Structure 1
Amino acid sequence: MKFIRRPENNNPLFKNGSVATIGIFDGIHLGHQALINELIKKSKEINLPSVFFTFEPTPNEYFSKKRHKQRLTSLRDKFLLVNQYQLDYFYAPPFDETMENLSPSEFISKHLINLFNIKYLIIGDDFKFAKNRSGSVIDLIESGKTNNFKVLQLSSIINNNSRVSSSLVREYLMRNHLPRANKILGRNYSITGRVIRGKSLGKTIGFPTANINLSRLDSALRGVFYVKVRIESMNKEIPGIANIGFKPTVGGEELCLEIHLLNFDQDIYLKYINVEFLDYLRDEQKFNDLSELKNQLKVDREKAIQYFSNI
């Protein structure tokens, strides 16, 4: 799958047309997966390249002026998840002042017709676009009549009487209802990041951690969790316990993800790791000193060993 950030008009790759789906796609949950599967089906049916169209930053981030506000997936994670479907193109133009001010007709002309020569467009039932979210499926259908493309709008997926959405996933994560979140994601919620140098305080008390800075991904999760970790270039999963929070015992100020891997002592500094969250263990706590923290971590590790022995 080819990543496109700033494409050129009249790209010869799309001289015969393309099939696309468009949206924010935060989390790539079951509803998003339905759109992707329909995209694959239609692309094969009419033998045209498939285009996954999203925005970076997201409109919500752009308007809030705070990047990655409680975001489920970074752009990198989104690309990796979508890449598993073997689509042809991943288009992520900047959502900026120019994008913000496009009228519905300007958006359709610039991003769908001139760039990708769209022949078939697949959208969700809540899709809005263009300035002030003024564009709707009606605008797309009317433009399609003139510009020779068709529009398919899929209905939302309902789970336990609730519409599957990125907001619902975030709500479940905020409540530490991981099994519910994982169910509507269709996989375990995960965070991918590069391991950074920490202060090695965990190592001094016998609990070394792999640290990921979350300054660009304000996850809705907080607390301590059972996790399994995949490490770049290593073909295995490693069980562990992870704390996602602000490390109050040592006066932390930035949101951080710390993972203690069970029965693992290799140096993974600067490697990318994927952390899958399986279940909730406890809330993040502030301890009086490192000795008290160490005692709690011993309890956590024993619980984790028991947990992983039963799955």
Structure 2
Amino acid sequence: MKILNKIEINQRSIVTIGTFDGVHIGHQKIISRLVNTAKQEGLKSAILTFFPHPRMVLQKDANIKLINTIDERYTILESLGLDYLLIKKFTKEFSRMGAEDFVKDILVDKLHAKKIIIGYDHRFGRNRNANIDDLKRFGDQYGFEVEEISAQDIDEVAVSSTKIRNALNEGDIIKANAYLGYNFMLNGTVVKGRKLGKQLGFPTANVHIKEDYKLIPKQGAYIVSSRIEGVLVYGMMNIGVNPTVSGERLSIEVHFINFNKDIYNKNIRIELLQRLRDEQKFESVEMLTTQLVEDKKALLSYISNKDNN
């Protein structure tokens, strides 16, 4: 897959348009249709997406949280067999582009689109004043076909996105992963912390996520995995403020088992597998340590059951 910030393809293409946050099972169904149709008709498959998210630009006060960072979205899309991922920088100026100018200048002249796969409720152009009927009319005028994604399929996409966000906000990782079709992930850099975990016998990697728009699941303890230097390692992660030891700022800390390499300043990907419990304020550090021992037992049981299945 080629990732292009310059919106231009010098080959005949089939295009779909959208933000594709989450790239979940509903999105994957649409992308599979795109890729298969491209192969059948001798076209290049392309997704035209926008970043920053339009709501980030047009609604400055919108507290929008996304399931994927833009880099995570790249990685997931790359696994789906696309030829091109085109990222159009979304600006206020671009939002004022008229519908026909968008079709002619971008879809026709720059992407050489011979087919557009798009939702029945898709709106585009300045003030979102054009719809799929307008797109079909432009298709007749400029020589491309419009394939409509049904209401049922679009509803599936919308429902999936809502359910994923709700599940993550509730800490229901199993449900979120089922809708995603892969494990929800957090990507960040390992930074130095207060080293309190090490004092308790549970040294942790403190993970800093630079993208403030990334959706962080409900505070609590989770079973996670990560592939570090090619080796799959499991761990238990806490998202929270560490109330037992007078923590104040939200932190993401992972204790990896059977792992003792120095990974400071390294970028790691953490996949969330199962929730263990809510974050708690314990009456003493000793009680916290006792709970961490129980969490580790639950983690080892999870790994054992996974290995036996």
What is the TM-score normalised by the length of structure 2? 0.88
Deviations for 1:173-202, whole angstroms, at most 9, x for unmatched residues? 112222222111112222222323323222
Does the 8 A contact of 1:35 with 1:123 survive in 2? no
> Which of 47, 55, 58 is equivalent to 2:50?
55
For residues 271 and 187 of structure 2, the distance between their equivalents in structure 1, rounded to whole angstroms, comes to 9
Number of matched residues?
303
Alpha-carbon distance change, 149 to 201 in structure 1, aligned in 2, over 3 angstroms: same
Pick closer, same or farther for the CA change 1:246–1:66 going to 2, 3 Å: farther
Q: 2:227 aligned to 208, 227, 230, which one?
A: 230
Q: Which amino acid aligns with 2:92?
A: E
Query: How far 1:289 sits from its partner (Å)?
Result: 5.4
Kept in 2: contact 1:57–1:67 (CA 8 A): no
Q: Does 1:20 align with 2:23?
A: no
Give 2:184's match in structure 1, choosing from 185, 189, 210.
189
Seen in structure 2, the aligned counterparts of structure 1 residues 210 and 135 have a Cα distance that, compared at 3 Å, is farther
Match of 1:91 among 69, 74, 86: 86
Mark the CA change 1:30 to 1:126 in structure 2 (over 3 Å): closer, same or farther: farther
CA distance in 2 between partners of 1:95 and 1:118 (Å): 20
- Alignment correspondent of 2:132: 137
Q: What's the counterpart of residue 114 of structure 1?
A: 109
Shift in alpha-carbon separation, 1:163–1:59, aligned structure 2, 3 A: closer
Q: 1:303 to 1:274 in 2, by over 3 A?
A: same
Normalised TM-score (structure 1): 0.87
Alpha carbons 1:245, 1:255 under 8 Å: kept? yes
Report the Cα offset of residue 119 of structure 1: 0.9
8 Å contact kept, 2:5–2:86: yes
The 1:167–1:60 alpha-carbon spacing in structure 2 relative to 1, beyond 3 Å, is farther
Q: Indicate the larger mover: 82-91 or 102-111.
A: 102-111
Range 68-77 or range 192-201, more displaced:
192-201
Whole-Å separation in 2 of the counterparts to 1:188 and 1:287 = 30
Q: Pick one of 144, 162, 170 that aligns with 1:167.
A: 162
5+ unaligned residues in a row in structure 2: which ranges? none
Q: What is the alpha-carbon root mean square deviation over aligned residues?
A: 2.6
Shift of 1:244: 2.1
Name which of structure 1's ranges 89-98 and 204-213 shifts more when overlaid on structure 2.
204-213
Letter in 2 for 1:96: T
Contact in 1 for aligned 2:117/2:147 (Cα 8 Å): yes
The partner residue of 1:36 within 31, 34, 42 is: 31
Instruction: Kindly state the Cα deviation for residue 284 of structure 1 after the two structures are TM-superposed.
Output: 1.8
Q: Extract unaligned runs of 5+ from structure 1.
A: none
Q: Which residue of 2 aligns with 1:101?
A: 96
- From 133, 143, 147, give the equivalent of 1:152: 147
Conserved? CA contact 1:35–1:124, under 8 Å: no
The one-letter code of the counterpart of 2:197 is G
Q: What one-letter code is carried by the residue in structure 2 that aligns with 1:219? A: L
- Return the offset for 1:125: 4.1
Q: Structure 1 residues 269, 67: CA separation in 2 closer, same or farther (over 3 Å shift)?
A: farther
Structure 1 residue 247, shift from structure 2 partner: 3.6
Match of 1:201 among 189, 196, 209: 196
SS at match of 1:71: coil
- SS at 1:195 equivalent: strand
In structure 2, the CA distance between the partners of 1:49 and 1:62, relative to structure 1 (3 Å rule), is same
Code of the residue aligned with 2:256 in structure 1: it is: L
CA distance in 2, matches of 1:173, 1:104: 36
Change (3 A) 1:162 1:173: same
CA–CA distance in structure 2, aligned partners of residues 246 and 29 of structure 1: 30
Cα distance, 1:111 vs structure 2: 2.5
